[in-house]
Amino acid sequence: MFNINELKWRDKPVKYIKLNESRNKSTIVNSKKEKMYEYYKCDYCGDEIRLDLKQHERSGGIVNLPHSLTQCGQVTVALCNKCVREVQKELEERLDKNIKWVI
Ligand SMILES: [Zn+2]
Protein backbone atom coordinates (compact mmCIF):
# COMPACT_ATOMS: atom_id res chain seq x y z
CA MET A 1 0.00 0.00 0.00
CA PHE A 2 1.30 3.34 -1.04
CA ASN A 3 1.23 5.89 1.76
CA ILE A 4 1.33 9.38 0.41
CA ASN A 5 1.17 10.87 3.89
CA GLU A 6 4.61 9.64 4.77
CA LEU A 7 6.01 10.82 1.50
CA LYS A 8 4.51 14.26 1.19
CA TRP A 9 6.44 15.66 4.14
CA ARG A 10 9.72 14.38 2.86
CA ASP A 11 11.80 16.82 0.89
CA LYS A 12 12.86 14.37 -1.80
CA PRO A 13 13.75 10.69 -2.06
CA VAL A 14 16.79 9.73 0.00
CA LYS A 15 19.90 8.66 -1.83
CA TYR A 16 21.54 5.59 -0.30
CA ILE A 17 25.09 4.41 -0.76
CA LYS A 18 25.86 0.76 -1.31
CA LEU A 19 29.10 -0.25 0.36
CA ASN A 20 31.21 -3.21 -0.52
CA GLU A 21 31.98 -4.67 2.87
CA SER A 22 34.88 -6.98 3.37
CA ARG A 23 33.84 -10.57 2.91
CA ASN A 24 36.33 -11.87 5.43
CA LYS A 25 34.83 -10.89 8.76
CA SER A 26 37.91 -11.99 10.71
CA THR A 27 40.05 -9.24 9.26
CA ILE A 28 38.02 -6.38 10.60
CA VAL A 29 41.13 -4.28 11.13
CA ASN A 30 41.90 -4.32 7.46
CA SER A 31 38.35 -4.21 6.21
CA LYS A 32 37.67 -1.19 4.16
CA LYS A 33 34.22 -0.15 3.16
CA GLU A 34 34.32 0.70 -0.44
CA LYS A 35 31.58 2.70 -2.08
CA MET A 36 30.03 0.65 -4.86
CA TYR A 37 27.14 2.71 -6.09
CA GLU A 38 24.39 5.08 -5.08
CA TYR A 39 20.76 4.11 -5.25
CA TYR A 40 17.24 5.11 -4.41
CA LYS A 41 14.80 2.79 -2.73
CA CYS A 42 11.53 2.41 -4.55
CA ASP A 43 8.83 4.01 -2.41
CA TYR A 44 6.42 1.30 -3.47
CA CYS A 45 8.25 -2.02 -3.35
CA GLY A 46 11.56 -1.09 -1.72
CA ASP A 47 13.75 -2.36 -4.54
CA GLU A 48 17.03 -0.68 -5.29
CA ILE A 49 17.14 1.76 -8.17
CA ARG A 50 20.81 1.98 -9.03
CA LEU A 51 22.10 5.36 -10.05
CA ASP A 52 25.40 4.20 -11.49
CA LEU A 53 23.62 2.73 -14.49
CA LYS A 54 22.88 4.74 -17.57
CA GLN A 55 19.51 6.42 -17.66
CA HIS A 56 17.94 3.90 -20.06
CA GLU A 57 19.34 0.94 -18.10
CA ARG A 58 18.02 2.05 -14.75
CA SER A 59 15.12 0.20 -13.22
CA GLY A 60 13.39 3.42 -12.29
CA GLY A 61 13.87 6.95 -11.08
CA ILE A 62 12.33 10.06 -9.63
CA VAL A 63 8.67 10.67 -10.37
CA ASN A 64 6.73 13.83 -9.64
CA LEU A 65 3.15 12.94 -8.79
CA PRO A 66 0.95 15.91 -9.67
CA HIS A 67 -1.57 17.46 -7.33
CA SER A 68 -4.39 16.18 -9.54
CA LEU A 69 -3.41 12.64 -8.51
CA THR A 70 -2.31 13.11 -4.93
CA GLN A 71 -4.82 15.78 -3.87
CA CYS A 72 -2.17 17.15 -1.56
CA GLY A 73 0.22 18.96 -3.86
CA GLN A 74 3.05 17.64 -5.94
CA VAL A 75 4.83 14.75 -4.25
CA THR A 76 8.24 13.57 -5.41
CA VAL A 77 8.86 9.85 -5.10
CA ALA A 78 11.36 7.26 -6.26
CA LEU A 79 9.75 4.43 -8.20
CA CYS A 80 10.80 1.49 -10.33
CA ASN A 81 9.40 1.46 -13.82
CA LYS A 82 7.28 -1.55 -12.95
CA CYS A 83 5.74 0.27 -9.96
CA VAL A 84 4.81 3.54 -11.64
CA ARG A 85 1.69 2.04 -13.16
CA GLU A 86 0.67 0.40 -9.89
CA VAL A 87 0.99 3.65 -7.99
CA GLN A 88 -0.88 5.56 -10.64
CA LYS A 89 -3.66 2.97 -10.60
CA GLU A 90 -3.91 3.12 -6.82
CA LEU A 91 -4.09 6.89 -6.78
CA GLU A 92 -6.66 6.95 -9.58
CA GLU A 93 -8.81 4.42 -7.75
CA ARG A 94 -8.77 6.62 -4.69
CA LEU A 95 -9.81 9.58 -6.83
CA ASP A 96 -12.64 7.55 -8.38
CA LYS A 97 -13.97 6.54 -5.01
CA ASN A 98 -13.30 10.03 -3.71
CA ILE A 99 -11.29 8.71 -0.81
CA LYS A 100 -9.46 11.53 0.85
CA TRP A 101 -6.08 10.99 2.39
CA VAL A 102 -6.29 11.24 6.15
CA ILE A 103 -3.81 13.83 7.25
ZN1 LIG B 1 9.23 -0.68 -7.05
pLDDT in tens, 9-57: 888 999 999 998 766 555 555 556 789 999 999 999 999 999 999 999 9
Residue 4 Cα to ligand 1 middle (Å): 15
Decide if 33 is inside a domain.
Answer: yes
Decide if 2 is inside a domain.
Answer: no
Residue 32 Cα to ligand 1 middle (Å): 31
Residue 61 Cα to ligand 1 middle (Å): 10
User: Domain range spanning residue 66?
Assistant: 14-96
Burial 65-80 (b: 16+ CB within 10 A, else e): beeebbeeeebebbbb
Decide if 85 is inside a domain.
Answer: yes
Decide if 79 is inside a domain.
Answer: yes
Decide if 45 is inside a domain.
Answer: yes
Decide if 60 is inside a domain.
Answer: yes
Over pLDDT 90: what percentage of the chain? 59
Decide if 103 is inside a domain.
Answer: no
Decide if 64 is inside a domain.
Answer: yes
